[in-house]
Amino acid sequence: MKNVEKYTRGYFMPPVNEMKWAKKDYIDHAPVWCSVDLRDGNQSLIVPMSLEEKLEFFQYLVKIGFKEIEVGFPAASETEYDFTRALIEQDLIPDDVTIQVLTQSREHIIKKTFESLKGVKNAVVHLYNSTSVAQREQVFKRSKEEIIDIAVQGAKLLKQYAAEADGNLRFEYSPESFTGTEMEFALDICNQVLDVWQPTAENPVIINLPATVSMSMPHVYASQVEYMSDNLKYRENVVLSLHPHNDRGCAIADSEMGLLAGADRIEGTLFGNGERTGNVDIVTLALNMYSQGVDPKLEFGNIPEVVEVYERVTNRKVYDRQPYGGQLVFAAFSGSHQDAIAKGMKWREEHDCQYWTVPYLPIDPKDIGRQYDGDVIRINSQSGKGGIGYLLEQKFGLDLPKKMRENVGYCVKSVSDHQHKELTPDEVYNVFRQHYVNVDAPVHFKASHFLPGDQFHAQVEVAMDGKTYDLKGEGNGRLDAVSNALQTGLDLDFTVLTYKEHALEIGSKSQAVAYVGVQSPDGTDYWGAGMHTDIMTASVKALISAVNQMKEDR
């Protein structure tokens, strides 16, 4: 590509880089979660949410289990101010939930922010100013000392206004554009803010390290976080928070490595909504932990509902391949994938497995409210016999013989291929019924009777080409007798290879299903199925269905 020479690495590695975090292999407990859907998420929408939508979304975030929720920048607009007041005045904030509000380090903005919090029980006031080289030089045109003074003066104002306010008010500071800031300077400005606030065990503060713009590979961000964690003053009384953005597509990795590196808290949004490429996706991050046996302390047991609420209030669409929440993330169209999933599910049934290890499925879809028959096995021209057979069994109770599954699979895939579309479970079932079940032409079954003896004697009445035939045969079983009657009376030649039957329902008048496979003299296999309340009638219908397949092929 052209112009590659104009780009450089704009981040700063810490002066000490021990990478202790790299020796850990998983996150062993959930962080403190803070949803910023109502601020970062909302300001990134083409049409921001209305007051009513924001109120509904806030209550849903509470339902999911968020204990900290950033609700806005009250001094930025009347809408944001009114929303904060509505939450407080309508008593919509549970006692165990803390709202968070954002403010710049300017006194009139800080004053307005504290006015918006009058009567609140628990709140975090989030102070920020930008610290990166690019922002200092190009935007603010200030020295390092002047940037530190902005932060320190803001910290003092927060402390002053909080002393005059009611409620439990905590502080948070963000060196915005942290990832483009020299690490020694980022540490210095945060420690000077901490010196003003003097956090204690009873009154801890939050230091937030935002990847306002993601500028490096995730291990660099983790090393930056580790350096800050190791060198912040009052560390035991500081909640170290991360706020990753997704410019490089690395927000999840940044968060996971950052937690390994010492972070305690994550700010993000549902499904990663946010400016540019978005914030870190808390749904993915939480369910990644869940997939490794760690309780994320958020309730995502009904992902379809989460998606529905999110899409309705934000007017945004969750991408079909979005991890966990996307419509197709558990879908298997490939025949080999479907076969492996079906066998894995069967293995679980047979071995009473403690742990989830089904191929291609990192978690059990049912644990997050997804269904196997509509979400996992999806049928199109790329599907295989295993997936189609599994769907027919799980959705409709049809336990096809192994060899029949392959024949049915080719038939269903052919229909999908010719129609150029995915088939729904009901459409797959209808293909099976149409091509295999109680096939009534050219041989039409009318009735059958059996007489026991040393061998079974069968009398079978059928119609073909406008004529009725009374056929007789004998064999070592009823189906064998019917088979011999058909071959003798209709001048047919075949061998019965497979017979299987089972009940479809429970009860004396329930439907039963039988499957029969026959082979012609040239070695071709044909399959039929029969359904009837009488199992013997179902068996005869299955045999005649297979014979009709053979005659049609001839």
3-state secondary structure of 553: helix
426 in Cβ contact with 441 (< 8 Å): no
Q: Are residues 449 and 426 in the same domain?
A: no
Tell me the CATH number at 489.
Answer: 3.30.160.270
Sheet with 467-475, edge to edge strand ranges: 444-451, 456-464, 467-475
Query: Does a structural domain hold residue 327?
Result: no
CATH of the domain at 200: 3.20.20.70
Range of the structural domain that residue 296 is part of: 19-314
Concatenating the DSSP letter of every residue in 326-388 gives STTTT-B-SHHHHHHHHHHHHHHHHHT-SS---TT-SS-GGGGT--IIIIIB-BSTT--HHHH
* pTM (predicted TM-score): 0.82
- 89/214 same-domain check: yes
What are the tens digits of pLDDT across the range 89-132?
999 999 999 999 999 999 999 999 999 999 999 999 999 999 99
On whether residue 12 sits in a domain, the answer given is no
Omega before 204 within 30 of 0, i.e. cis: no
Q: Over the stretch 488-541, which tens digit does the pLDDT of each residue have? A: 999 999 999 999 999 987 665 688 999 999 999 999 999 999 999 999 999 999
CA nearest neighbour of 387 among 354, 455, 341 = 341
Asked if pLDDT for residue 390 goes beyond 90, the answer is: no
Locate 340 and state its tokens.
């492996």
Is the same domain home to 25 and 148?
A: yes
Separation between Cα atoms, residue 519 and residue 496, nearest integer Å: 6
Give the SS3 label for residue 39: helix
Q: CA-CA distance, 288 to 320, in Å (whole number)?
A: 18
Averaged pLDDT of the chain: 93
Predicted confidence (pLDDT) per residue in 292-319, tens digit: 999 999 999 999 999 999 999 999 999 9
Same domain, 93 and 166: yes
Say whether both 471 and 362 belong to one domain.
Answer: no
**388: enclosing H helix or E strand:** helix 385-396
Q: Which of 373, 385, 408, 403 is nearest to 339 (CA)?
A: 385
Q: Tell me, yes or no, whether 241 lies in a domain.
A: yes
The percent of residues above 90 in pLDDT, for the chain, comes to: 83
Q: Does residue 243 have a known ligand-binding role?
A: yes
Q: Is 40 annotated as a binding residue?
A: yes
Positions of E strands within 229-341: 238-244, 265-268
Integer Cα distance of 39 and 92 in angstroms = 18
495-503 sheet: strands from edge to edge? 495-503, 512-519, 525-532
**pLDDT band, very low/low/confident/very high, at 342 (cuts 50, 70, 90):** confident
Q: Which of 314, 345, 369 lies at the terminal end of a domain, its last residue?
A: 314
Does 8 reside within a domain?
no
Domain count, the chain: 3
3 in any annotated domain: no
| Over residues 348-361, mean pLDDT | 92
φ, ψ for residue 228 (rounded to 5)?
A: -65, -45
Q: Counting every residue, how long is the chain?
A: 554
Strands (DSSP E) along 131-264, which ranges? 168-176, 205-211, 238-244
* Other CB atoms within 10 Å distance of the CB of residue 455: 15
**Tens-digit pLDDT profile for residues 411-436:** 998 898 888 888 888 999 999 999 99
Q: Quick one: 395 and 487 in the same domain?
A: no
Whole-number percent of the chain with pLDDT over 70: 97
